[in-house]
Amino acid sequence: MAKLQLNDIVDLREYEREREAFRRSIIELKSVRRIALGDLVTVVFENRDTIRFQIQEMARAEKMIRDEQIETELAIYNPMIPEKGELKATLFLELVSKEMLQQWLPALVGIENSVYLALGEGDGARKVMARPERGHGAQLTREDVTASVHYIEWVLDEEAQAVFGSGSVFIGVDHPNYQVHLELPQRSVESLLADWNL
């Protein structure tokens, strides 16, 4: 999937004209790519469109008009666009109160290394662990408390790519303080596979 270039990010006036239709399309796209992992964890699988939306909204909110400002955002967010054989996601800890933050941020240290995909079922399932996205991992990883947002990625070898989507695909969290395992909906798998064909 091609990375975003400067000319992919439209100026503020042009963006205002397209924003409502673009926003609706991203809401629809994310409805397929947002996966709730239990009550506390949500994963949103990113692609070129979701990242373009993120940058356009950031530029709009911050009133960015200089190319250098947009290029900085591109450098930050382009690594979250998956290439063939990759899946990239934003992991959110859904902690909505001060008490939940105090309880779960220390308890979920290492959560970014605990998310997995399982390709197939039973003993023959192929497990692929997520890892922190290279550009963000060092900034968000702490020994005593975790962040409420993480950027994670899976890199699938050729064998895993070949079986991805040909059978059941599960996603889960295997953390000492939080475990969940569920099957990805077929339409979510199809959306992820489509990224590799662009």
For residue 137, what pLDDT is reported?
Answer: 58
Instruction: Specify the residue for token string 């190319």.
Output: 67
Q: Is residue 189 part of a domain?
A: yes
Domain of residue 126: give its range: 6-196
Residues 6 or more apart from 48 whose CB is under 8 A from it?
1, 2, 3, 4, 81, 195, 198
Spatial CA neighbour of 87 closest among 129, 146, 126: 129
List all residues 6 or more positions away from 148 whose beta carbon is below 8 Å from its beta carbon: 92, 93, 95, 101, 105
In a domain, 159, yes or no: yes
pLDDT (0 to 100) of residue 121: 80
Per-residue pLDDT of the chain (198 residues; tens, 9 = 90+): 899 999 999 999 999 999 999 999 999 999 999 999 999 999 999 999 999 999 999 999 999 999 999 999 999 999 999 999 999 999 999 999 999 999 999 999 999 999 999 998 877 789 999 999 877 656 666 689 999 999 999 999 999 998 898 889 999 999 999 999 999 999 999 999 999 986
Residue 43 belongs to some domain of the structure: yes
pLDDT value at residue 161 = 92
The model's pTM is: 0.93
Q: Is 1 within a domain?
A: no
96 located within any domain: yes
Residue 166 belongs to some domain of the structure? yes
Distance, in Å, from the CA atom of 117 to the CA atom of 127, rounded to the nearest integer, reads: 6
How many domains are contained in the chain?
A: 1
pLDDT of residue 198: 63
- Please, are residues 186 and 136 in contact by the beta-carbon 8 Å criterion? no
| pLDDT of the residue at 125 | 86
In a domain, 28, yes or no: yes
